[in-house]
Structure 1
């Protein structure tokens, strides 16, 4: 058990470090994407970290098998380079027993992965979809920042400030309408404006302007109209929220009770991200053995390429299942079967099974030496 704790500590600490690094890389890309949406006025800054936090379990869901495989190669490669593995083998630890320890560590990671795949990731994706839908329900005026022009081209909005009562002060609104197949610019200036919900049952919202002027027409033409008003109300388009029923947001019991193709594929995907870890553990153990003169990274490239091919094949299989190009009865299991066979061959080579079979038995060699020609 002391040896198992030592190996588990080496691998698990490395897995946590690799997971954190890969997660930061993904988050940096997503943050830049969300900042672009905030700059375009499509979401609020306050919702950025909320939605991003809900997506983290899904990121870890994909990162964890890769991080574990890389951590296993790094940790065991270091043990071979520093001759610690040679000491273990000379102390009576067989490669079969080492494989048992490795699978035990993989089962720890698999249990963490299963809790994320079957419970945490679907729940967090559902909450992320709710938060995104709440952002979609916001109007352009909910996302306005005082002192900034929002929008692009001839559709632009500007407000000077917000009052304590929620009124927008000194508002400018530029829009374009179509009349008789011609684009007609409309400019609205108002001292104040406020959003008002008239009927919650029908979800009717109005933007009410106070004390302003409305200009309609192209400058320099005779067809121009100027309207001064005390109160001017514009009905705002309401956005209907759709039901959140995507397969990746459903709970695992719902997927088990569903007969929908996408739900069945999603269930197989969650199972695949769990059982891939023990398979990668045997492959990583077999490819981590290096000669101290070769360096710990000698077999790193072929191992990573094999892992990438495994993941890519699973993604291709999932896409083909969703499009109906592969039968759902075949599923993703044949891919795992291929790599279980590869893992078995690599482990047999790692355990020198083929070399022992090719070697001539000692009693056969003694019989040949004692045989006299007739």
Structure 2
């Protein structure tokens, strides 16, 4: 039982740091993505009510990349602190070799890899499919469906500004309407002026072909150019405005939403490359664990963060190489049999080399010192 104390202690320190680092990284990434979606909602391109759903569905696809990086940084920070506090020196005096430390590190890496595999093979594709479904539903909405009372809303191309003072809960009736729209020439290349519509109220009307119109009631239309006195005023009882469908931008790749079960039986290069990518993410966890153990070795005189930047650059090189090779797999320039596996092999060898180099260097230095003493 006493032999489990050290592995449990190391695992606890590592997992606590992993949790803290991953939480910070997830908050940063989700904040940036939420701001992007929030900007689309402010433009009337997204229903604000679906923002929380979209973010929750994207969490697995964020975590599948955050967790390997969180484990890597967690090892660097946790073990770096142990080196600075001389705890690693005490462990080394009790027979803790770097190789044994790496083995102990792989123990907490196993549940992390299992969680990443669950994300990459199951939850992430499912979440992306749900996000894609929500975005497709948003693309079917019109400007009328995304109106917010008391707010001036601009269409994405800037051609129309809409304002309503009040809107019923079922979004069928609106009151106090203001619409400003640029008038373009027939070829679409030159602006001919601005048309301003004001009305006491309005309603939405759906035609047989699926197109929707905003039917305004009891209002005025003003046509002219800003700054010029030559303008035209038309009073109307009923006026129809075609409602354009907002174009919701999406960075989602369609193949990312394909279930893993369909990728396994596919012979398309892009699908096979996607399958190898999903399988590579849990494998990435074990490789970065081996890489991080020797990189976490810190000298109290040098400080805790001296090796942090080179280690992060090595991790970025690893991930960038995987992404680049994935692109070559898509194009069929690399055989699928070789695939992404050689990248993991190269960086695993780098990790093993770093892991065995320091003990080998110390052993060689010790032998040189013994020889010099014997000759002396």
Band of TM-score, shorter chain: 0.7 to 0.9
TM-superposed deviation, 1:246: 0.8
* Alignment map for 1:83-162 (pairs within 5 Å): 83-151=86-154, 155-162=160-167
Deviation, 1:286, is: 1.5
Matches within 5 A, 1:128-207: 128-151=131-154, 155-163=160-168, 166-178=172-184, 183=192, 185-199=194-208, 202-207=209-214
**Between 247-256 and 140-149, the greater mean CA deviation after superposition:** 140-149
User: Paired residues, what number?
Assistant: 358
Q: Which residue of 2 aligns with 1:318?
A: 326
Which is worse superposed, 15-24 or 284-293?
A: 284-293
Q: 1:205·1:238 contact (CA, 8 Å) conserved in 2?
A: no
Q: Compared with structure 1, are the counterparts of its residues 112 and 353 closer, same or farther at alpha carbon in structure 2 (3 Å cutoff)?
A: farther
Partner of residue 372, structure 1:
none
Q: What RMSD over aligned residues (CA atoms) do the two structures have, in Å?
A: 3.1
Aligned counterparts of 2:195 and 2:86: Cα–Cα separation in 1: 79
Partner in structure 2 of residue 341 of structure 1: 349
Q: Distance in 2 between matches of 1:164 and 1:122?
A: 35
1:91-147, CA deviations, whole angstroms, 9 ceiling, x for partnerless residues?
A: 234443322211122222111111111111111111111222222222112222223
Larger-Rg structure: 1
User: SS of the counterpart of 1:352?
Assistant: helix
Deviations 1:300-327, CA, capped at 9 Å, x for gaps: 2322221121112222222333344544
The aligned runs of 1:4-83 (5 Å cut-off) are: 4-83=7-86
SS of equivalent residue, structure 1 residue 297: coil
Alignment of structure 1 residues 188-227 onto 2, 5 Å = 188-199=197-208, 202-215=209-222, 224=232, 226=234
Q: Do the aligned partners of 1:154 and 1:185 also contact (CA within 8 Å) in 2?
A: no
Q: Which moved more, 1:102-111 or 1:161-170?
A: 161-170
Matched position secondary structure for 1:142: helix
Gaps of 5+ in 2: none
> Shift in Å at residue 207 of structure 1?
2.2
Cα 1:327/1:293, change in 2 over 3 Å: same
Deviations 1:158-203 (A, max 9, x none): 212124663111212233455665736433332221113344xx53
Instruction: Tell me the secondary structure at the aligned position of residue 216 of structure 2.
Output: strand
2: distance between equivalents of 1:256 and 1:307? 28
Q: Distance in 2 between matches of 1:149 and 1:97?
A: 64
Does residue 248 in structure 1 map to residue 251 in structure 2?
no
TM (norm. structure 2) is 0.83
Alignment pair present for 1:297 and 2:302: no
Single out whichever of 62-71 and 75-84 deviates more from structure 2.
75-84
Greater CA drift, 55-64 or 32-41 = 32-41
Gaps of 5+ in 1: 370-374
Which deviates more, 121-130 or 178-187? 178-187
Distance 1:330 1:212, change over 3 A: same
After TM superposition, the score normalised by the length of structure 1 is 0.84
